[in-house]
Amino acid sequence: MSITTVALDERARVQRRTVRILSLGQVLGGIAFGATVSLGALLAADISGSDALSGLATASVTLGAALAAIPLARFAARRGRRFALTLGNLLALVGIVVVLAAAAVRVFPFLLVGIVMIGMGNAGNLQSRFAATDLAPPQHRGRDLSIVVWATTIGGVAGPLLLGSGEHLGHTLGMPPHTGSYLFSLVAQIAAFALYLIALRPDPLLTARALGETGGTAAAVERADRPVAARYAIFAIAGSHVTMAAVMAMTPVHLSHMAMGGMSGSPASGGAEEMDVTVIVGLTIALHVAGMYGLSPVFGILADRWGRLRTVLLGQGLLVASLCFAMLAGETTWGVIVALILLGLGWSAATVAGAALLTEASAPALRTRRQGRSDSLMSLSAAGGAVLAGIILQSSSYAGLAIAALVVVVAIVALSPLGRR
C-alpha cells in the first residue's frame, strides 16, 4: 500500500469521526436552541407588553450570531474549530442564565442581552456545517455538510416538543412563565461544551491546513477562486435565511392571535382556539424545524450531483410555495403549519447548496474568512427582517408579511446567473 493511500485512508477516518462528533453536537445544540426560538417571541411580548416588540427576540438571536460570526471564524482560523465551537457554547450558557434572571426580574433590556448571547452561541453552531467540509473531498462536501445540518433535526424537533414538559417543570419549581424549557437548554449546552472540548480531536481545520502545507492529499483540492459566485452564494444564503426568519419569528404571535380571535375579531378556523397556545406553537415550530433539517441530506446529495445553483433555485421554489400558503391559508391552523413546513424545506435546500457553493467558489486561504462573513450577513439581515416582521404583522397581516418576504425570493432568482460566473 502506497503512502498516498495510507494518507487518504487516515484522512477519511478522521473525517468520519469529525462528522459524527459535529452531528452529536448539533443534536445537543438543537435542543438548546429550540426553546429560544419557540419561546423568545412570547417571552418578549409578555415582559414588554407589546406584540410589536416581540420580534426583537428573534432579532436579538440573529444579531448575536451576526456579531460573533466573524470573530469566531477568525478565532477558528487561529486556534481551530474545536476552540471556536467551545467558545460559542460558553457564550450560550451565560446567555441562558441571563435570560432566566431577566424573566425573574421582568427587565426587558436585560432579556435581550441574554438572547443576544444565546445568538452568539448559535454562531458557533452555524460554523459546525463548515467544519464538516474542512477534510471532505470536493465531491462529498454537500453530503457531509448536510449530514451535520440534518443532525439538528433531532434536537431541533425535540426542543419545541419539550415546551409543555418544560412549562410544567418550571411551574413546579416556581419559575416565571415561558422559562421552564430553558432548563433543558442549559443541560444540553453543558453537554455540547464538554463534547467539543474533549472529543473534537484532531481539529479538522488545523488537520486540513497541515496536510495542505506539507504537500499531502489536501494539496489536490482545487485552488481556483470565483469571487462573483462566492458573493452570490453569500447573498442567496442570507436572503433565504431572512425570508425564513421573518415569517417564522412572527408565527407564534400570529397563532396566539388566532387562538384568541385577535386577527379578525372572531375565533380562527382550524380549532386553534380549543388548544393550548403553547402546544400549538411547539407543534408548529417542531414541524418547521423538521422541514429545515429533516431532508438536508437529500438536498446535500442533490447539490453534489445535480448542481449547487440548481438546488439553490429549488429552495426558492419551495419558499414561494410556503409564502403562497401563508397568503392564502394563513388564517387557518393547518395553513400555517403547511406554510412553515415548506418554509423549512426551502431554507434547507438553499442554505445547504449555498454553503457548498460558497466553499468551492473560494480559494482555501479565503474560505474561513468568507464563511464568517456569510454567517454574519445572514444573521444581521435576519435580525433586521425579524424587527420589520413585527411591525408588518401589527400594521398589516400575516399575508402582508408573506408578500414582503416574496420580494427577497424574487431577487435571489433574478440574480442567479451570477452563481455560474
Q: Residue 35 — pLDDT band, cuts 50, 70, 90?
A: low
pLDDT for residue 36? 65
Q: Domains, the chain, ranges and CATH?
A: 3-420 (1.20.1250.20)
- In this prediction, residues 269-292 reach a mean pLDDT of 69
**Gap between the Cα atoms of 87 and 121, Å rounded:** 8
Nearest to 33 by CA among 146, 148, 264, 188: 188
Query: 100-115, pLDDT tens digit by residue?
Result: 999 889 899 999 999 8
Return the C-alpha cell found at 216: 499531502
**Gap between the Cα atoms of 406 and 243, Å rounded:** 8
pLDDT for residue 51? 67
Residue 250 near residue 398, CB atoms below 8 Å: yes
pLDDT for residue 9? 73
Q: Which residues of 369-388 are buried (b: 16+ CB within 10 A; e: fewer)?
A: ebbbbbbbbbbbbbbbbbbb
Judged on CB neighbours under 10 Å (0-12, 13-18, 19+), 273 is: middle
Whether 88 shows a pLDDT value over 70: the answer reads yes
Query: 334-354, pLDDT tens digit by residue?
Result: 899 999 999 999 999 999 999
Distance from the first to the final alpha carbon of the chain: 41
**Gap between the Cα atoms of 355 and 334, Å rounded:** 32
pLDDT for residue 271? 43
How many other C-beta atoms are found inside a 10 Å radius of the C-beta of residue 121?
A: 31
- In this prediction, residues 152-171 reach a mean pLDDT of 77
**Per-position DSSP letters for 297-351, written without gaps between them:** HHHHHHHHHT-HHHHHHHHHHHHHHHHHHHHHHTTBHHHHHHHHHHHHHHHHHHH
Residue 385 near residue 242, CB atoms below 8 Å: yes
Whether 268 shows a pLDDT value over 90: the answer reads no
Nearest to 116 by CA among 95, 137, 133, 94: 95
Query: 239-265, pLDDT tens digit by residue?
Result: 999 999 899 888 888 887 777 764 443
Instruction: Name the residue with higher pLDDT: 13 or 214.
Output: 13
